[in-house]
Each structure stands twice: as structure tokens, then as C-alpha cells.
Amino acid sequence: APSDPDLVERARAAKEKLGDKVFVLGHHYQRDEVIQFADVTGDSFKLARDAAARPEAEYIVFCGVHFMAESADILTGDDQKVVLPDLAAGCSMADMATAEQVAECWDVLTEAGVADTVVPVSYMNSSADIKAFTGRHGGTICTSSNAKKALDWAFEQGEKVLFLPDQHLGRNTAVRDLGMSLDDCVVYNPHKPNGGLTAEELRAAKMILWRGHCSVHGRFSLDSVNDVRERIPGVNVLVHPECKHEVVAAADYVGSTEYIIKALEAAPAGSKWAIGTELNLVRRLANRFAPEGKEIVFLDKTVCFCSTMNRIDLPHLVWTLESLAEGNLVNRIQVDQETEHFAKLALERMLALP
Ligand code: 13P
Ligand code: SF4
């Protein structure tokens, strides 16, 4: 649906009033009505890197989800305030690893005698607590665009990796990019005693994958890939690495949201694409590239929005910008100092990857 013109005008006016005091970041999964007000758009790596690009901005309005806003707070100055337009915009995958569960997992690894050889690698899609755990234990953060580099780095530091919290990104990167076998990976289930693993299994494994996943990308199946290949002969299947291994293995191309956009920009006219990622982004790309004769469809037949990304809508953005313009600091995301210190170590290791 087109955005309410009155709200568009109010957002524009509030943003103009704030001027250089506000810096608006927008993740590629955001709604069109929100993304039109972003000063910078990007995948989670680009947004983490660019968060500190405007040190003079008092407010950083993060149109994305909670873990992204926390990371922006960690990576920006203490005088800069990060604001999330709806505090209920979380990420179900990030919620699948709590600090208590991860501390218990480390005890299990210690009992099994392997903790000394394990380097934690945590996906950006995790809470600041998990990032701090990672920093304390000599590990790094990664995103879907640098997971290979992060794993290469980690295997220079130690013999095994504990990959949190997305089992699919961990497995896909280990198998596709590092040439490991599926047998090199085990899955640690935080809801089972000892993660459901024996000490022997932990000693034999190279990749210890946390049992977390994205429910949005989990909807794509091998059937969706086979169906679309039948429906659209010659179609290129391009998916996000949060998809299940069998989907990634059957796809032609795999990459982050930024990679997906670049691949479609470079695609020749007349080419056909089925995209396996969140629907706001796929629809925007389909509309953008249709005039150039590129046919872009959603990989699955059912709709697949990320419900928490979608919580940031134009009414929330207007309320946020108008509140800030009136001097009311709302919905601030602030990570405590100790957590920030260790989480920053892990994030800075990621930013320093070659
Ligand atoms: P990107 O890093 O590819 O933008 O992915 C973020 C995300 O949440 C995917 O579900
Ligand atoms: Fe989290 Fe999945 Fe939404 Fe990304 S798409 S924010 S991983 S729930």
C-alpha cells in the first residue's frame, strides 16, 4: 500500500528540523515507507561499519532490529544516542542463545576437555551479551558477508569453532567455503543435557554449531527450488546463507543482502532470478529492475516477511523523529559498560578481518 501522504510529510518535516543532529540507518529488509528516509542503507556488516560515520550526529535512528541497534551503540561514541523506533523489533534467532545457556555450553566444553582449543565465532544476529562472551573468549563476530574470513581467522587461532547462534550460516560456510564435510559439524542443543552431545563427539568435531535458526529463511525448502526451476526455465536461484544447507547446496548463488543487490545490479537484461530472502527486499528489487527487463521472483509461494523488521513502520518512525525533534529522547538502546567493553573487542576483531 502507498504510504499515508500526511505521515510522509510529517516524517520529512521532523527530519529536516533535526538536520545534522540525526542519522538514519536502514536495513535492506525495512519497508519501502521507512527506507525512503534512511541516510544509509545496507546489510548488517555495512550498517555496523557505517554506524560511526557521523560522529557529529547526536541521534542514530536505527531502522532495523534490536541486535543491530545494540551493535551501533557499542561502535559509536558515548555522546551519541542510538534509538530503535519500536522496542519490540527483536530477532527470534538472536533470542535462541541466552547468556546463561552459552555459559553452560562453555562449562560442557570445559568438562569435555576441549574449551582450550575452541574459538567462538558469533553471528552479528546475537545479543550484546553473546558478543561480550565471544570477546572474553578470544573470538570474533561475523556477518553473512564475512563469515568465511571469520572462520579462516578462527581456525588460525584454534582447532575448533563454536558457532553461535545460526547453525545454517555456520554449516553452510564450513562446507561451501572451507571444504569441510557435514560430519565435521555437530549441533549443540541448549535444551538438552550436555547439549545432546557426548564428550567424544565434541572432541571429534571441528565445528560446534549452536541450534539456532532464522524462521523466515527456514521456510525455503528444496521443493521451492525445484518448483521454481520447473516453472521458470533458465532461472538463477540466489539465496541468503541463513537458508538450510540443502537449499544453499541446490542454489546457483549464495550471499548477504548486499551481495544479492550487487548480483542483480550486474545481471544482464533478460535474465531471470528467484530470490530466497525476506520479501520487502525482494519486492523492492523486482520493482526496481523490471524496467531493465530483469525478471525477479520470490523463491517461495507463500509470503515471507520478517515480522520484527516489519514492526518499524512509518507511524513509529514519525513518532520517533517528532519526539527527538521536540527534545524527547525515546526508545534509547544502551549497552552497559562492561558488556560493551568485551563485545567491542569481538566486533573490532571482525572489522579488522582482511
Ligand atoms: P544481512 O547481513 O545479509 O543483511 O542479513 C541480516 C539478517 O538479519 C538476515 O536475516
Ligand atoms: Fe532475525 Fe531472521 Fe528477521 Fe533476520 S530475517 S532479523 S535473522 S528473524
Cα 336 from chain centroid (whole Å): 22
In the reported structure, the alpha carbon of residue 313 is separated from the centroid of ligand 2 by a whole-number distance in angstroms of 16
Ligand 1 pocket test: which of 124, 280, 308 has the largest number of ligand atoms within 8 Å of its C-beta? 124
Spell out the alpha helix ranges (H) of 186-250. 199-204, 222-231, 245-250
Q: Which residues line ligand 2 at a C-beta cut-off of 6 Å? A: 65, 91-93, 125, 214, 216, 242, 278, 306, 308-309
Distance CA 141, CA 113 (A): 24
Is 253 assigned to a binding site?
no
- Atom 7 of ligand 2: nearest residue by CA position: 214
- Atom 2 of ligand 1: nearest residue by CA position: 44
Place 303 in a pLDDT band, splitting at 50, 70 and 90. Answer: confident
Is 295 assigned to a binding site?
no
Cβ-Cβ contacts under 8 Å for 195 (sequence gap 6 or more): 105, 108, 188, 189
Mean of the pLDDT values across residues 293-312?
Answer: 94
Closest ligand by atom to 48 CA: 1
Helix (H, G, I), strand (E, B) or coil at 140: strand
SS (H, E, C) 251-272: CCEECCHHHHHHHHHHCCCCCE
Q: Which residues line ligand 1 at a C-beta cut-off of 6 Å? A: 28, 43-45, 125, 143-144, 214, 242, 256-257
Other Cβ atoms closer than 10 A to 77 = 11
pLDDT tens per residue, range 227-250:
999 999 999 999 999 999 999 999
Is 257 assigned to a binding site?
yes
Is 217 assigned to a binding site?
no
Mean of the pLDDT values across residues 210-235?
Answer: 97
Helix (H, G, I), strand (E, B) or coil at 220: coil
In the reported structure, the alpha carbon of residue 166 is separated from the centroid of ligand 1 by a whole-number distance in angstroms of 11
Structural domains of the chain, ranges and CATH numbers in brackets: 5-89+309-335 (3.40.50.10800), 94-213 (3.40.50.10800), 217-298 (3.40.50.10800)
Q: Which atom of ligand 1 is nearest to the CA of 256?
A: 3
Are 235 and 274 within 8 A, CB to CB? yes
Percent of the chain with pLDDT over 70: 100
Q: What is the pLDDT of residue 197?
A: 98
Distance CA 44, CA 144 (A): 8
pLDDT tens per residue, range 93-123:
999 999 999 999 999 999 999 999 999 999 9
Name the residue type at position 244.
K
Q: Which atom of ligand 2 is nearest to the CA of 277?
A: 5
- Atom 6 of ligand 2: nearest residue by CA position: 91
- Atom 6 of ligand 1: nearest residue by CA position: 44
Mean of the pLDDT values across residues 123-133?
Answer: 98
- Atom 8 of ligand 2: nearest residue by CA position: 91
Could you tell me the three cell numbers for 250? 541446490
Cβ-Cβ contacts under 8 Å for 301 (sequence gap 6 or more): 224, 227
Are 124 and 143 within 8 A, CB to CB? yes
pLDDT tens per residue, range 4-62:
999 999 999 999 999 999 999 999 999 999 999 999 999 999 999 999 999 999 999 99
Q: Could you identify the residue written with the cell 582449543?
A: 117
Q: Is the dihedral of CA 23, 28, 29, 33 positive or negative?
A: positive
Q: In what order do the strands lie in the sheet with 81-83?
A: 40-42, 22-27, 59-63, 81-83
In the reported structure, the alpha carbon of residue 242 is separated from the centroid of ligand 1 by a whole-number distance in angstroms of 8
Q: What is the pLDDT of residue 2?
A: 76
Give the CA angle between residues 95, 215, 126 to the nearest 5°.
30
pLDDT tens per residue, range 22-31:
999 999 999 9
pTM of the model: 0.96
Distance CA 23, CA 37 (A): 10
Ligand 2 pocket test: which of 30, 43, 63, 65 has the largest number of ligand atoms within 8 Å of its C-beta? 65
